[in-house]
């Protein structure tokens, strides 16, 4: 059954994502169906590497690999933890929600990979280097005295530059290894974009030197209109720069446009752009667009209008591995998983082989429960299921499966102070903190399910809704008469994830064992 589910999920994703074409493959936007925002992409030979924002999830800054620009597989992370402080330990009411690692710029130069990003909770800019992007290790530096929001690196000959900012874009030269701003270097404002009448101006920079021009590709967002992708160019790195809108329009019935992402070429000389599109509660999803160079401008889509189907002139290769099912039968955690903030103490894949063991630490609810492990959900619809053994839980413990964002819903098992066990469905967020139901149980095993509808596929379905179920035998299921109205909110700033959790309200050390986690589109 396990292999059948995995095969079904893989086939459905491949069918939705691309089709065979005599010229290569036809990619159908959006690409992965899941939350991969603020991406940057580089090419090394015939290999493509993409990095994305994951904010407060750890390990962070996932590196994804592709040979065809359509299918992406997580192969590593840049860091395990940004800082081992109260923020990432969820102590004293502190957290990094909506903050953490943002908008990493990824580059390759003379055999070394470079990644630069800010962490908003630390108010710092970090630069990491490695010679092995898959296996590491990554060497870490802090660029003292600078907070380089949405930065982009550019190697230009033997010099290294960085552009960053929002509205006004700034330029400065770094030391050749990127460890600091070059001694004596002057920060220059190269682009000025007043923000009055705009939601965003000149944000999410991507910096290139192609042919005779220096290019800065960025996002603009007019009030009451879709996002735009704008390019600035100059024959001098310090300007003056002129601008042109290179992508402007809606796609797939969504009215907020596509923007923020890189340009990338292929060995054959074709060019593409991978920009992201907001997709409600599931998150921000990458879309690929062809690029045609017109009078020295990289026009995207069809004369600047985004396309839903794009012929990518590369042979189809690989599969998506940014979410998946997991039998917990390995001795290492699969790369699809990230912890909510720092990994907790006491979790294990080996204490009970074939099971994921979470050991409960003190928390007041899901927002500060450190024993919470997450992975992405996937549009248009998906189901997440797990099997929980509650025999090791203590009075005051709760463990289960959560639709995780600031407005969350969770289905799990709670042990009352007197030892009574119940399946509970709970909604929390903003002023909400309510139990929807509590059903007494007697056995040790409980099957749990969340059914997500992000984009309706059948009559009567509503977008961004989730439904919760449980079973005591794995065959006969109950679904609660309750609908979670999911929404993408900026306080967490990430798409909904499925989370396995375990926390204590009385005494720490209780055990929750999860036999497997299955996720599939339907």
Task: Give me the pLDDT at residue 518, please.
Answer: 98
Segments of 329-453 assigned E as strands: 338-340, 356-359, 361-362, 372-376, 381-389, 397-404, 408-415, 421-429, 432-440, 445-453
Q: How far is CA 202 from CA 44, 151, 191, 198, 219, in A?
A: 28, 11, 8, 10, 6
Measured CA to CA, the distance from residue 385 to residue 192 in angstroms comes to 50
The residues pairing with 165 across neighbouring beta strands, listed in sequence order, are: 169
Task: Give me the pLDDT at residue 319, please.
Answer: 94
Closest CA to 407 of 437, 379, 434: 434
- The separation between the first and the last C-alpha atoms of the chain, rounded to the nearest angstrom, is 16
Structural domains in the chain, sorted by start:
2-312 (2.115.10.20), 338-521 (2.60.120.200)
Measured CA to CA, the distance from residue 27 to residue 222 in angstroms comes to 29
Class of residue 314 by CB neighbours under 10 A (exposed 0-12, middle 13-18, buried 19+) = buried
Task: Give me the pLDDT at residue 24, please.
Answer: 85
* Residues of the chain below pLDDT 70: 1-23
pLDDT digits (tens, 9 = 90+) for 455-492: 999 999 999 999 999 999 999 999 999 999 999 999 99
| Spatial contact of 366 and 404, defined as CB atoms under 8 Å apart | yes
3-state secondary structure of 7: helix
Quote the mean pLDDT of the chain: 94
- For 215-273, what is the HEC assignment? EEEEEEEECCCCCEEEEEEECCCCCCCEEEEEEECCECCECCCEECCCEEECCCCCEEE
Task: Give me the pLDDT at residue 195, please.
Answer: 83
Measured CA to CA, the distance from residue 497 to residue 193 in angstroms comes to 35
Measured CA to CA, the distance from residue 160 to residue 175 in angstroms comes to 7
Q: Which two tokens stand for residue 54?
A: 């994951």
């Amino acid at each position: 059954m396990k292999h059948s589910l995995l095969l079904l999920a893989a086939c459905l994703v491949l069918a939705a994502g691309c089709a065979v074409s005599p010229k290569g493959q036809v990619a159908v936007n959006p690409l992965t169906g899941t939350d991969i925002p603020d991406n940057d992409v580089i090419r090394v030979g015939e290999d493509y590497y993409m990095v994305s924002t994951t904010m407060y999830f750890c390990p962070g800054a996932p590196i994804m690999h592709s040979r065809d620009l359509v299918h992406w597989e997580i192969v590593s992370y840049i860091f395990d933890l940004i800082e081992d402080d109260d923020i990432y330990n969820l102590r004293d009411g502190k957290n990094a929600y909506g903050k953490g690692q943002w908008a990493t710029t990824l580059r390759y130069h003379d055999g070394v990979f470079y990644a630069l990003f800010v962490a908003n909770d630390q108010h710092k800019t970090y630069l990491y280097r490695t010679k092995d992007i898959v296996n590491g290790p990554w060497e870490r530096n802090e660029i003292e005295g600078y907070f380089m929001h949405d930065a982009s690196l550019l190697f230009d000959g033997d010099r290294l530059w960085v552009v960053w900012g929002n509205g006004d874009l700034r330029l400065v030269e770094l030391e050749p290894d990127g460890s600091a701003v070059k001694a004596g270097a002057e920060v220059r404002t190269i682009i000025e974009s007043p923000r009055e009448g705009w939601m965003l101006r000149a944000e999410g920079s991507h910096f290139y030197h192609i042919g005779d021009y220096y290019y800065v590709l960025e996002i603009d967002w007019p009030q009451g209109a879709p996002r735009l992708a704008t390019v600035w160019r100059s024959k001098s790195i310090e300007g003056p720069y002129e601008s042109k809108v290179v992508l402007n329009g809606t796609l797939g019935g969504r009215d907020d446009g596509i923007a923020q992402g890189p340009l990338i070429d292929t060995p054959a000389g074709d060019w593409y752009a991978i920009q992201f599109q907001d997709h409600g509660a599931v998150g921000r999803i990458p879309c690929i667009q062809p690029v045609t160079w017109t009078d020295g401008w990289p026009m995207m889509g069809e004369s600047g209008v985004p396309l839903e189907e794009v012929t990518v002139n590369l042979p189809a290769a690989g599969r998506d591995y940014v979410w998946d099912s997991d039998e917990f039968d390995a001795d290492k955690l699969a790369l699809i998983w990230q912890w909510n903030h720092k990994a907790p103490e006491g979790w294990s894949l080996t204490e009970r082989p074939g099971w994921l063991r979470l050991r409960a630490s003190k928390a007041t609810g899901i927002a500060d429960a450190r024993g919470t492990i997450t992975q992405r959900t996937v549009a248009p619809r998906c189901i997440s299921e797990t099997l929980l053994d509650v025999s090791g839980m203590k009075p005051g413990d709760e463990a289960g499966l959560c639709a995780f964002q600031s407005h969350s819903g969770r289905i799990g098992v709670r042990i009352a102070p007197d030892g009574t066990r119940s399946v509970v469905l709970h909604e929390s967020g903003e002023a909400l903190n309510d139990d929807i139901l509590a059903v007494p149980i007697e056995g040790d095993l409980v099957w749990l399910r969340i059914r997500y509808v992000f984009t309706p596929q059948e009559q009567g379905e509503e977008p961004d809704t989730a439904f919760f179920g449980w079973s005591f035998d794995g065959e006969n299921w109950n679904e609660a008469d309750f609908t979670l109205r999911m929404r993408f909110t900026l306080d967490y700033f990430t798409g909904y994830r499925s989370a396995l959790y375990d926390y204590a309200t009385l005494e720490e050390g209780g055990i929750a064992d999860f036999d497997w986690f299955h996720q599939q589109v339907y």
